[in-house]
C-alpha cells in the first residue's frame, strides 16, 4: 500500500516573502527557483516557479546558488 503524502503548504515557508529568486536562462534552459526561510537555522525552503513541490535544502547548498553579478564575471 502507498503511503499518503501530506499536502505541501506555501504559508509558513517564507516563500511568499522570497528570501531570494534565482533565474537561469539560456539556450533550452529557463528555470526560476524561489528561496524562503525555515524555522531550522540550517535549512531553507526552495520551490521551482513552475512546480507545486516544495523542498528543504541545507543553507550551505543555498549559498552555492546565490551569487552576485561580480561572482559570475
pLDDT per residue as tens digits for the range 27-52: 998 999 998 888 888 888 889 999 88
| pLDDT recorded at residue 66 | 77
Query: How many CB atoms are located within 10 Å of the residue 59 CB?
Result: 15
| 10/52 Cα distance (integer angstroms) | 9
34, 15 contact by CB (below 8 A)? yes
Question: Percentage of the chain with pLDDT > 70?
Answer: 89
| 72/9 Cα distance (integer angstroms) | 34
| pLDDT recorded at residue 27 | 93
Stated pTM of the model: 0.71
Query: Which of the pair, 25 or 68, is modelled with greater confidence?
Result: 25
Amino acid at each position: 500500500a502507498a503511503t499518503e503524502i501530506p499536502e505541501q503548504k506555501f504559508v509558513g515557508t517564507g516563500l511568499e516573502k522570497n528570501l531570494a529568486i534565482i533565474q537561469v536562462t539560456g539556450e533550452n534552459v529557463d528555470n526560476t527557483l524561489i528561496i524562503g526561510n525555515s524555522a531550522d537555522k540550517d535549512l531553507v525552503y526552495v520551490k521551482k516557479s513552475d512546480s507545486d513541490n516544495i523542498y528543504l535544502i541545507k543553507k550551505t547548498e543555498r549559498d552555492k546558488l546565490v551569487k552576485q553579478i561580480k561572482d559570475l564575471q
